Amino acid sequence: MKRLAIGLILAVLTGQVWANDQTSSTTPATSQSATKPAVIYTSIDQILKVAPAGVVPVKAATWTEIKADVANAAMAEKVHGQRAKLKLIVQEVPHWDGWLIYSCADLPQGFPVRVFAHFRDEDKAKLGVLNKGDVVVVSGTFNAKTKIEMLWHVWGVSINLDNCDFSK
């Protein structure tokens, strides 16, 4: 079961989106400005590709603060405010500054991707049906906390989504 879960997480994180997703990546978002084309991000790999070539390291051990700063500037410009639709494995449904679905996995490069999908308090009953290990599709809007950062003594990618919804 653990091998299946890791394989599923890696498939999603590297851009192998599930087969029956017919969402267009050019669907316009109502809150986007005319200068920022709407994109629905469906994988972590797609998010990391907004950084200039050569910035995202091949190995986690080679991250530097300047690489994170350059990648974060690109994410702020291209990703923040856009929509995400990510398939995740639920690792926890905690109340950390509001209710959220938390998921974490390591990319092949060796750095973790932590997803914090924030929900409204009125979604509490809906979230209550989730179990650790459930596979869900979470939709939400990237907020400014989406970035490369040193968290828990490790460089990694923190994906923060607001106004989320999910389906099993």
Window from 21-35, 74-88, 150-164 with minimum mean pLDDT:
21-35
**Beta strands in 15-153, from DSSP E residues, in sequence order:** 40-41, 83-89, 100-106, 112-118, 135-142, 147-151
Tokens at 133, concatenated:
């290990």
If you average pLDDT over residues 68-78, what whole number do you get? Answer: 97
Give the three-state DSSP class for 97.
Answer: coil
Question: Is a pLDDT exceeding 60 seen at residue 2?
Answer: no
Domain ranges of the chain: 2-167
Question: Is a pLDDT exceeding 50 seen at residue 92?
Answer: yes
User: What is the spatial distance between Cα 124 and Cα 139, in angstroms, rounded to a whole number?
Assistant: 16
pLDDT at 151: 79
pLDDT digits (tens, 9 = 90+) for 3-57: 333 333 434 444 433 323 333 333 334 444 445 678 899 999 999 999 999 999 8
Do residues 161 and 147 make contact, with C-beta atoms less than 8 angstroms apart?
Answer: no
Residues in the chain: 168
Tokens at 168, concatenated:
């099993």
If you average pLDDT over residues 131-142, what whole number do you get? Answer: 97
